[in-house]
Amino acid sequence: MKIGIPRALLYYKNEKLWTKFFDELGIDYIISPETTKETIENGSKYAIDETCLPIKIFLGHIDYLKDKCDYIFLPRIERAQDRETCLNFRAQYDLVKNAFRDYNLNILFYNDMGHKEHKEEKAFKKLCKYLHIKKSIGKYAYKIAKQTQMYYEMFRSENQENILKSTKKPKVLILAHAYNIGDKYIGEPIIHMLEKLGVQPIIAEYFDHKKCVKESNKVTKTLPWSYNRHLVGALELYKDAVDGAVILTTYPCGPDSMCNDMMVRDYKDIPLITLTIDAQDGSAGLETRLESFTDILNYKRNNNNE
Ligand code: SF4
């Protein structure tokens, strides 16, 4: 049996958990390659016009995997840190079943609905039952996989904190979802552009999730989406430690349009720029805007040092 894992959406939040789990169980898997322009073109064929770019990318990855594995792995994750996730993460299964109805795809999933204790662990237990894996073996594989994911996140978070303290370069906090900043087509060009301009990118997504979501309560009581709360909390926590912030978003996104507007209105004391990536242009033309933005940061820095 071979499982196909799309390199898209929540893969960027659960990579270690998923791959270590299958490694421990000795289950073969394939991860679709990095996103390219072709991935987006292929995914767009299955999407309606209003679909957001990350979902078009996701469908492009499914298109790649559709005839290369026995099952496509598509968990439904309804909540994170006791908050809602975007509806698209709950709808992945149905979305794929409908868009690829001519291919009769087999989908492997677990449902993490987030409203009971040990929700994720229970969901993995059910997944193991479906795969006819002995309870104790499945439990051990999940434990090891969960630990691996946790250590990875801890390491990443500590690393960001260390860079923040030690670098002498101007620091820019990048506020972007995991699947945007982690994607080769969306996030990587922005990181490279900033580095070329002599700026140190600080990735909000890499900071401790619990801490950031908790901090977001100081800013808003009503924002429903966990992953957006993470970004708001990171901005609140690190606003005094960075020189500016880049809101990196994809078109069109309901949660981001509301949350980004709120951040721009609420954080007037920190230089903020919003960059929107769409399926047609990608990051083309953004270099000039980032150049002007870093000029402002450098000017502000020099003035403060005088
Ligand atoms: S949060 Fe926005 S970008 Fe992400 S899946 Fe939902 S609509 Fe798409």
- Identify whether residues 217 and 282 lie together within a single domain: yes
Task: Give the pair of three-digit tokens for residue 93.
Answer: 């299964």
Statement: residue 127 has pLDDT above 60:
yes
Cα 51 from Cα 67, distance rounded (Å): 24
pLDDT at residue 195 in the model = 97
- Among 85, 116, 148, the domain boundary falls at 148
- The amino acid occupying position 119 is K
- Identify whether residues 14 and 118 lie together within a single domain: yes
CB 186 near ligand 1, within 6 Å: no
Is 178 within 8 Å of 248 (Cβ atoms)? no
- Identify whether residues 204 and 300 lie together within a single domain: yes
Q: How far is CA 159 from CA 36, 147, 195, 228, 233, in A?
A: 28, 18, 17, 22, 18
pLDDT at residue 117 in the model = 56
Atom of ligand 1 nearest to the CA of 253: 2
- Identify whether residues 115 and 17 lie together within a single domain: yes
Residue 120 located in a structural domain:
yes
**187: domain CATH number?**
3.40.50
CB 235 near ligand 1, within 6 Å: no
Surface-to-core class of residue 28, CB atoms within 10 Å of its CB (0-12 exposed, 13-18 middle, 19+ buried): exposed
What does the mean pLDDT of the chain come to? Answer: 95
Cα 212 from Cα 195, distance rounded (Å): 25
- Identify whether residues 226 and 138 lie together within a single domain: no
CB 77 near ligand 1, within 6 Å: no
CA of 217 to the centre of ligand 1 (A): 21
- Identify whether residues 138 and 172 lie together within a single domain: no
Residue 158 located in a structural domain:
no
Say how many domains are in the chain.
2
Q: Which of 253, 259, 278 to mutate to test the pocket of ligand 1 (most atoms within 8 A of CB)?
A: 253
Residue 138 located in a structural domain:
yes
CB 55 near ligand 1, within 6 Å: yes
CA of 137 to the centre of ligand 1 (A): 35
Q: What angle do CA 97, 119, 255 make, to 5 degrees?
A: 60
- Identify whether residues 118 and 91 lie together within a single domain: yes
- Identify whether residues 222 and 294 lie together within a single domain: yes
- Identify whether residues 143 and 277 lie together within a single domain: no
CB 259 near ligand 1, within 6 Å: no
Statement: residue 115 has pLDDT above 80:
no
pLDDT at residue 279 in the model = 85
CA of 233 to the centre of ligand 1 (A): 18
Dihedral sign (CA 138, 143, 144, 146): positive
- Identify whether residues 17 and 62 lie together within a single domain: yes
CA of 167 to the centre of ligand 1 (A): 32
pLDDT at residue 79 in the model = 85
CB 141 near ligand 1, within 6 Å: no
Summarised one tens digit per residue, pLDDT across range 166-209 is: 999 999 999 999 999 999 999 999 999 999 999 999 999 999 99
- Identify whether residues 72 and 174 lie together within a single domain: no
User: pLDDT over 90 for what percent of the chain?
Assistant: 88
In this prediction, residues 104-108 reach a mean pLDDT of: 95
pLDDT at residue 118 in the model = 58
User: pLDDT over 70 for what percent of the chain?
Assistant: 99
Q: Which of 86, 258, 277 to mutate to test the pocket of ligand 1 (most atoms within 8 A of CB)?
A: 86
Residue 155 located in a structural domain:
no
Residue 173 located in a structural domain:
yes
Residue 156 located in a structural domain:
no
Q: What range does the domain containing 258 cover?
A: 167-305
Task: Give the pair of three-digit tokens for residue 271.
Answer: 């230089």
- Identify whether residues 113 and 185 lie together within a single domain: no
Task: Give, using CA atoms, the residue closest to atom 7 of ligand 1.
Answer: 253
Statement: residue 116 has pLDDT above 90:
no
Summarised one tens digit per residue, pLDDT across range 213-262 is: 999 999 999 999 999 999 999 999 999 999 999 999 999 999 999 999 99
CB 253 near ligand 1, within 6 Å: yes
pLDDT at residue 284 in the model = 79
Residue 154 located in a structural domain:
no
Task: Give, using CA atoms, the residue closest to atom 2 of ligand 1.
Answer: 253
Task: Give, using CA atoms, the residue closest to atom 3 of ligand 1.
Answer: 253
CB 193 near ligand 1, within 6 Å: no
DSSP readout, the chain?
-EEEE-SSTTHHHHHHHHHHHHHHHT-EEEEPPPP-HHHHHHHHTTS-TT--HHHHHHHHHHHHHTTT-SEEE--EE-EETTEE--HHHHHHHHHHHHHTTTT---EE--EE--SSTTHHHHHHHHHHHHTT--HHHHHHHHHHHHHHHHHHHHHHHHHHHHHHHH--S-EEEEE--HHHHS-TTTHHHHHHHHHHTT-EEEEGGGS-HHHHHHHHTTT-S---BHHHHHHHHHHHHHTTTSSEEEEEEESS-HHHHHHHHHHHHH-TTS-EEEEEEBTTTBTTTHHHHHHHHHHHHHHHHHHHH-
Task: Give the pair of three-digit tokens for residue 276.
Answer: 């929107």
In this prediction, residues 33-49 reach a mean pLDDT of: 95
Residue 194 located in a structural domain:
yes
Q: How far is CA 168 from CA 207, 240, 267, 296, in A?
A: 20, 15, 24, 17
- Among 99, 121, 148, the domain boundary falls at 148
CB 254 near ligand 1, within 6 Å: yes
CA of 285 to the centre of ligand 1 (A): 23
CA 105 remoteness from chain centre: 25
Q: What angle do CA 293, 298, 303 make, to 5 degrees?
A: 130
- Among 148, 175, 206, the domain boundary falls at 148
The DSSP bridge partners found for residue 107 are: 72
